[in-house]
Structure 1
């Protein structure tokens, strides 16, 4: 369960996602900046500002915010993924607003193969 600050920032990301999708970038930015003042050491507001700036076609400022989020919390995956998404050549992917937006792909580490007698074994 999230603590109160984490819960507030999580809800902020949900609200900002809706506002950005509706094209209300100014409203989203004001909301994020108000929370950034309350939580200056949090990575989440910088990540959200990076997304807003990407939608405003201000790529350099967006990347600075993503980088600031990573510097504040190196374990914050959404900012790291947004650097990959928007820093590459294929930046047509969806931004990562919070941990819920991260797609987890199952990895197949082992494969089952069978011999002529139907006896199976795992290989890497």
Structure 2
């Protein structure tokens, strides 16, 4: 039981560290942390979601979509993967960098801040 518990903590630590690395554009370190998290729990959607973000950061939309889909296939209820997949697969080129969902902000609005601001203004 302790071994399973420690690997769970290690997994969460890798995910948190990888997220922080991606946010500060330390993509080399982020990649190694994501792969480490995947090796700890290959059935979790979080590493695939982060790898999708990683590929998107490296301008590889095709591989980003594949990893968002993999995350969705592993857990269709994992909202960050659903949101990122929808965002990257949109027919319109209205991508909002602030709308990337790392999976670590629970309870925040799913709409980009600039869309919320646009919808608040009264029509005259």
Assess same fold via TM > 0.5.
yes
1:71 and 1:38, CA in 2 relative to 1: closer, same or farther beyond 3 A?
same
Post-superposition offset of 1:68: 0.3
Output the aligned Cα RMSD.
Answer: 2.2
Does residue 100 of structure 1 match 2:97? no
Structure showing greater Rg: 1
Q: TM-score, length-normalised on structure 1?
A: 0.71
1:90 to 82, 88, 94: 94
Post-superposition offset of 1:93: 3.2
1:10 and 1:98 in contact (8 A); partners too: no
1:13 and 1:97 in contact (8 A); partners too: no
Give the structure 1 partner of residue 64 of structure 2: 62
Gaps of 5+ in 2: 111-124
Higher helix proportion: 2
Q: Structure 1 stretches (4+) deviating beyond 3 angstroms?
A: 3-13
1:78 and 1:102 in contact (8 A); partners too: no
After superposition, residues 9-88 of structure 1 pair within 5 angstroms as 9-88=11-90
- Equivalent position SS for 1:74: coil
Aligned residue pairs, count? 103
Gaps of 5+ in 1: 106-124
